[in-house]
Amino acid sequence: MFINNFDPVAFEFFSLEIRWYSLAYIIGIVLGWLYCKKKLIADQNILNLFDDFITYLIVGVILGGRLGYVFFYNLKYYLENPIEILMVWNGGMSFHGGLIGVIIASKLFSNQHRIDQFILLDLVALSAPIGIFFGRVANFINSELYGRATDLPWSVQFILIDNIKRHPSQLYEAFFEGIILFLILMHVFNKNYLKNSGQISGLFLILYSFFRFFTEFFRSPDPQIGYLILNLTLGQLISVLFLVIGSLLFYLKR
């Protein structure tokens, strides 16, 4: 058993607290940006525009992720405490909300510059697992999105939560949604198996949704929501929806 007693604050700069979660976002975005520019983008026009697109992307991720969490996971609380919607540093981001934000941001940017939206979304899909990996590791450090009870040898006791031995579900997600997903998409891209823009985006949605659905069986449901239809979590139900969307996109882009 591993005892998790990490401090969510990485370090303090004067009176400003720098949290691991913020660092995870920064590292994920920077590495994803470099990966796209150095390894993925061959079109000079896209390369010239990509730095500007990153600004749209950051806004889309933050706004979409925060509003997604507010509306999907804890609407009642934030209706009673609306000022806390702005307190992103206290935690509370939704991946699926961030995904919707990215789609909207890429649509606005592509319309402005008259380029294929799915070229941008494919780049995001190929690099997103980098950010997902660091985000899930930050979840583990923060003792959030923790797993269900278990007696397995690699169980973790999250001191900030309780004394129960739990699955390190954040690390399961970091492995499958981050490392494995990245390697699969990189292989598909390098081998040029998918030639039409949008297919990689569809494949990303399919694989991420599958991995998320599977790993949620080891993760405790959000306490304010609990289990829903067929004893599934909200994250699993949303994953099923995006799995269908990804499958349709992949089929239509063939």
In terms of DSSP bridges, do strands 9-13 and 16-19 run parallel, antiparallel, or are they unpaired? antiparallel
Taking the C-alpha atoms of residue 128 and residue 96, their distance in angstroms, rounded to an integer, is 12
What pTM was estimated for this model as a whole? Answer: 0.93
**3-state DSSP percent of the chain in helix, strand and coil, to 5:** 70, 10, 25
Dihedral of the CA atoms 145, 148, 149, 155 (nearest 10)?
-60
In terms of DSSP bridges, do strands 156-158 and 165-166 run parallel, antiparallel, or are they unpaired? antiparallel
Average pLDDT over every residue of 43-71: 94
Beta partners for residue 97, in sequence order: none
Binning pLDDT at 50, 70 and 90, where does residue 204 land? very high
The answer to whether 211 and 159 have CB atoms below 8 angstroms apart is: no
Which pLDDT belongs to residue 17?
84
Mean pLDDT over each residue of the chain, to the nearest integer? 94
Which pLDDT belongs to residue 34?
96
208, pLDDT greater than 80 = yes
Domain assignment of residue 71, given as a range: 2-252
Which pLDDT belongs to residue 1?
87
List pLDDT tens digits, range 145-189: 999 999 999 999 999 899 999 999 999 999 999 999 999 999 999
Which pLDDT belongs to residue 125?
97
Which pLDDT belongs to residue 93?
87
Return the minimum-mean-pLDDT range out of 3-7, 12-16, 118-122: 12-16
The count of structural domains within the chain is 1
Which pLDDT belongs to residue 65?
93
